Chain A
Amino acid sequence: MKVLVAVKRVIDYNVKIRVKSDETGVETANVKMSMNPFDEIAVEEGVQMREAGTADELIALSIGPQQAQETIRTALAMGADRGIHIQTDEEIEPLAVAKLMKAIVDKESPDLIIVGKQAIDDDSNQTGQMLAALLDWPQATFASKIEMADGGMTVVREIDGGLETINVNLPAVVTTDLRLNTPRYASLPNIMKAKKKPIDAMSPADLGIDVSPRLTTLKVVDPPKREAGVIVESVEELVDKLRNEAKVIS
């Protein structure tokens, strides 16, 4: 089975976001960038399938600027076999990402696509579902467990209030949730080996896909600021404040 995973380069989850003073976006210059955490889980799942022999090839795809190649290298160091880089300096919206990915799927014919459920920058949570729609494939979103089943796949999904189990035909798109696995750190020898693995680079135009944005960001501002409150001296005072001042408990 051939598996395709997609990885996005985002601001590291431990970095404090700073909104630009001209309200055009957030500061990305000189900020630590990493692989989107949910995409790390997608890569790990693919690597585990590769190690178990369920998958015989694992391809890591990224769309973004030149530096997105570093994110692909991370996936290769974790265990992906080869990379595809669709290079663009434009901001690509989820619908356009799904269209670009579909163009790659048409060329590569994977049996399974695994992507993170959302990127922690724009928090859209759309790409996997959109790709499944464009391909007319089933979608197993927010997956916490994947098992191959007769002619298809059984997936446990994180839903509000618990878990749901569904069975989907293959090929399919899976989006990852937190409990699916714990991503590995790449070892130094594997990081060295990853430098020799091939990355195929192309542009959106090479794939014939129109990626013009549909949305215009008018402004980006800080959320309403929270002021620090008071330090209470005792548990009694705390409970009194919660009951009689904040009125949030009875």
Chain B
Amino acid sequence: MTVLVIADHDNSALKGAVMNTVTAASALGDVHVLIAGKDCNAAAEQAAALTGVGKVLMADADIYAHALAETITPLVLSIAGDYSHILLPATTFGKNAAPRIAALLDTQQLSDISGVVDADTFERPIYAGNAIATVKSADPVKVITVRGTAFDAAQPGESAEISAINDAGDPGLSRFIGTELTKSDRPELTAAKVIISGGRGMQSGDNFVLLEKVADILGAAVGASRAAVDSGFVSNDYQVGQTGKIVAPELYIAVGISGAIQHLAGMKDSKVIVAINKDEEAPIFQIADYGLVADLFTAVPALEAELNK
């Protein structure tokens, strides 16, 4: 069996989740990686060097300068016949493109898998991770998106061959206009190793500066509960939870967050959870590795001072 991984990249480098996707693919068979881009040689070489990758297919053309699902899909369909499985990382790129490919292959996609049982059977979280389903596919070709945090990253090893393939044309349905990437010295929530989040207990948006000071020491991202977003303290892109971002950092510090189900669903796979809350009955303490029952307005500045020691 040969497995195709469709890489998410910015032409010069692969996105981190591609490495984890290659590991998931290696459990299924020989791995080929498709790099569609413009001047994407550096990304192709990086993919070719990953352990487990047997071949890299590179489609270098103007139409692939930006990863539009409408243009990538015909390219994938032009080579799909050679593969038993087509895997994409569950990044916004993968989530956007995979179902378009799956529908045209008449196959029911498996989203966000967290485990490979065998060639037809996979584990995936449902209900925001509150249940894990084991699902078997009867389709001849499987289209799958892979939850990066559930698999180890493939490491560099021997280099595989890079083979150029032809582009498949632009259907002309959509056009890229621009990107506005969040300019912040802090990492983005879904990629951060440490996250410090505030809830309704923060009382105002201005008080989030307390969390930002700690975040800057730890190289952490700042998040928020839905209650904090609904109260207007911070904008929606801070939201961690079932209807916000699902995160699994090494360390998650929940400050003034009671632990509503919808918030826990977004962060309970974090490796270490710290809760700071003045209400000792708060449900967040039932899942926290370390709990501190204290007023956040004294505890957080004290935390900042202690970390600076």
Stretch touching chain A among B26-34, B102-110, B205-213? B102-110
The reply to whether the CB of B285 lies closer than 8 angstroms to some CB of chain A is: yes
Give the contact-size bracket for chain B: 35 or more
Determine the chain A residues whose CB is within 8 A of the CB of B68 once the complex forms. Answer: 166
Given contacts A230-B289, A235-B292, A246-B289, 12 further A-B contacts (CB under 8 A): A26-B130, A94-B99, A94-B109, A133-B73, A141-B96, A162-B182, A164-B179, A220-B133, A223-B269, A226-B273, A241-B290, A249-B194
**Inside 8 A of A179's CB, which chain B residues have their CB?**
235-237
Check A44 for interface membership: any CB of B closer than 8 A: no
Contacting residues, chain B, for A218 (C-beta < 8 A): 121, 134-136
Given contacts A154-B177, A226-B268, A226-B287, contact A215 B135 (CB under 8 A): yes
The yes or no answer to A121 lying at the interface (CB within 8 A) is: yes
Of A8-16, A79-87, A190-198, the stretch lying at the interface with chain B is A8-16
Please indicate the chain A residues that have their CB under 8 angstroms from the CB of B299 in the complex.
235
A248, B289: Cα distance in complex, Å: 12
Mark contacts of A207-250 with chain B using CB atoms, 8 A cut-off: 1 yes-contact digit, 0 otherwise.
00000011111111111001011111011101101100010110
Total A-B pairs, Cβ < 8 A: 253
- Contacting pair A235 B302 (CB below 8 A): yes
Q: Known: A133-B73, A214-B139, A216-B136. Is A248-B290 also a contact (CB below 8 A)?
A: no
Which 3 pairs show the lowest CB-CB distances between chains A and B?
A129-B99, A229-B289, A162-B181
Q: How far does the alpha carbon of A137 sit from the alpha carbon of B137 in the complex, in Å?
A: 27
Q: List 14 A-B contacts (CB under 8 A).
A: A14-B260, A125-B95, A129-B97, A133-B101, A166-B174, A169-B174, A179-B237, A214-B138, A215-B138, A217-B133, A220-B133, A228-B287, A229-B291, A238-B274
Complex contact A215–B136 (CB within 8 A)? yes
- The yes or no answer to B125 lying at the interface (CB within 8 A) is yes
Which residue of B108, B126, B182 is within 8 Å of A95 (Cβ)? B108
Query: Whole-angstrom distance from the CB of B76 to the nearest CB of chain A?
Result: 11
Interface residues of B (CB under 8 A from A): 15, 68-70, 73, 91-93, 95-104, 106-112, 121, 125-139, 171-182, 188, 190-191, 194, 218, 235-237, 239, 242-244, 250-251, 260-262, 268-269, 271-274, 280, 285-294, 299, 302-303, 306-307
For window 97-129 of A, CB contacts with B under 8 Å fall at 98, 120-129
B98: min CB distance to chain A, Å: 8
Chain B binding surface SS class: mixed
Q: Which residues on B sit within 8 Å (CB–CB) of A223? A: 125, 129-132, 268-269
Question: Does A200 interact with chain B (Cβ within 8 Å)?
Answer: no
With a cutoff of 8 Å between Cβ atoms, the chain A residues found around residue B178 in the complex are 164-165
Cβ distance B302 to chain A, nearest Cβ, rounded Å = 4
The complex places the Cα of A180 from the Cα of B274 at a distance, in Å, of 32
B108 near A93 with CB under 8 A, answer yes
Interface pair A122/B126, CB less than 8 Å apart: yes
Q: Give the docked Cα–Cα distance between A37 and B272 (Å).
A: 29
A166-B68, A215-B138 given as contacts; is B260 within 8 A of A95 (CB)?
no
Residues from chain A with a CB closer than 8 A to the CB of B288 are 228-229
Chain B residues near A130: list those with CB within 8 A.
99-100, 102-103, 109
Asked, given contacts A179-B237, A223-B132, A231-B293, whether A134 binds B251 with beta carbons under 8 Å apart, the answer is: no
Instruction: Tell me if A123 and B112 are in contact (CB < 8 A).
Output: yes
